[in-house]
Structure 1
């Protein structure tokens, strides 16, 4: 039996994906797809996703105190502001009205199709249970789940004395690009993969100390599976964002986007390197 939720289902996306692909000429869609595929591959091949801290986390080598420090910094780096960026990219989809890639007759409607697809992500973020809507609650939003985890870990989110500059740099980078639809799409696509890879590793290490730590926030992150009732959906959201980026991508901006991608992934690599160095020195 297929138990995928509404926001996880391919059927939910069929009409939207058809519109997005056919809003461009076949030639432009093909060429953009090739370029974006290369960007996506470059993301997955970045040093960030081979970071040595991943091995230590998967091997459950970090102490609970070390994991607390990571979570305190991770909160500032991305958890606190992720829905801000996601909400802004939904708004900035209005820029599609003036996107020369898109057929003139489809430009106004394009922002609605984009917002529909991005809202599937926002629904999950805000705590909508799309298996059973009556069980939805803002208390089940990813941000509130993380705040509850911080309480379990006895961490004060308002105390930033241990928050490193690398965490603030990630927040600042997103803010610098908050008014660009295409920039935000690329940033969020990279972010989704970061969340998939590092959430799994953090969850594995945390579970050693208390299985309840992996409820809530960590239960709703990862890859969508038809075999269970979880609402993990990061892989679908990542694919959706890459598709929207394919639609909006302008070939003249190729070097700009390569630089943007590299800068953002390097900031994440710097973040995890700082965490690794602090933890190594504290061992």
Structure 2
């Protein structure tokens, strides 16, 4: 797979021209530095999750809020596949194929295909291994019912973050950037979310938390850093002919929104079944108190 990626990237560079590619990469590195050096990497919740400080109710809510982004991630990838046609406005016909090849590696992973890193590329798969279904299975393991999922109302902060993603669907360079940032968020927060979730007795050795986390962790099959790097390289191919200042500002705004997402409280916005359980406990306690 490393050789396959290298060949595609070499062809992509040739499609742009070495000089233009190097200029574009200078700008991409500015964006990467902005993301890598953002305060979100030291967000207090990272330590709190690593120390298993969140209750089942809070972990349920956290995952339900996060679910709003999980459900549109592959939509965004597919939109990026479509919008890659825009590179042919300034490049020779067929140039979109390189971006679509690398994006396909990401979508194959998301949709349940897999291969073993370091071995000959032999894809196998099943929809049951798709990240979306694995995430929904995780919701079930967290005792979140289908009715809970249907009736849950995301927070205003979560909806603001989601809308930022949705409005980028028609903006190819911005969409690529937001997808790359989302991959960074996964690499920061999934490992510690897995720790706190597992500490509550929820199985995390298989399923969603085996395919998301730090890619050099031998206990999981995550490829998030490969996909993030691919997205930045795809952006470098199509980095000409747009407002770089605007893209830089939008990048900062998006990662700031992620920072706010993780800062929101996860104690109050309970799933319905958890609210019902809490209400029953309270009523039982009140009834017991009235006997005295």
TM-score bracket, shorter-length normalisation: 0.7 to 0.9
Mapped partners of 2:79, 2:111: distance in 1: 15
Q: Which whole-Å deviations, capped at 9, do the CAs of 1:2-61 have from their partners, x for residues lacking one?
A: xxxxxxx31221221001112223222112111111110110111222211111011211
- Asked if 1:41 is matched to 2:33, the reply is yes
Match of 2:102 in 1: 117
Q: Do the aligned partners of 2:176 and 2:232 also contact (CA within 8 Å) in 1?
A: yes
Match of 2:149 in 1: 157
Corresponding residue to 2:112 among 115, 119, 127: 127
Q: Do the aligned partners of 2:142 and 2:202 also contact (CA within 8 Å) in 1?
A: no
Mapped partners of 1:58, 1:170: distance in 2: 24
Match of 2:278 in 1: none
What stretches of structure 2 of length at least 5 have no aligned partner? 117-121, 270-292
Q: Which whole-Å deviations, capped at 9, do the CAs of 1:216-265 have from their partners, x for residues lacking one?
A: 1110012334x848431000000000001111113751211111101111
Mapped partners of 1:14, 1:249: distance in 2: 20
- Asked if 1:255 is matched to 2:240, the reply is no
Aligned residues between the structures:
261
Shift of 1:278: 5.6
Mapped partners of 2:143, 2:12: distance in 1: 45
Spell out structure 1 runs of 4+ moving beyond 6 A: none
Shift of 1:144: 0.5
- Asked if 1:94 is matched to 2:82, the reply is no
Q: Which has the larger radius of gyration?
A: 2
Q: Do the aligned partners of 1:206 and 1:214 also contact (CA within 8 Å) in 2?
A: no
- Asked if 1:61 is matched to 2:53, the reply is yes
Q: How does 1:217-256 map to 2 (within 5 A)?
A: 217-225=208-216, 228=218, 230-250=220-240, 253-256=243-246
What stretches of structure 1 of length at least 5 have no aligned partner? 1-8
Deviates more, 1:181-190 or 1:124-133: 124-133
Residues 1:168 and 1:149: Cα distance change in structure 2 (over 3 Å): same
Shift of 1:211: 5.3
> What RMSD, in angstroms, separates the aligned Cα atoms of the two structures?
1.9
Corresponding residue to 1:30 among 22, 25, 44: 22
Q: Do the aligned partners of 2:113 and 2:123 also contact (CA within 8 Å) in 1?
A: yes
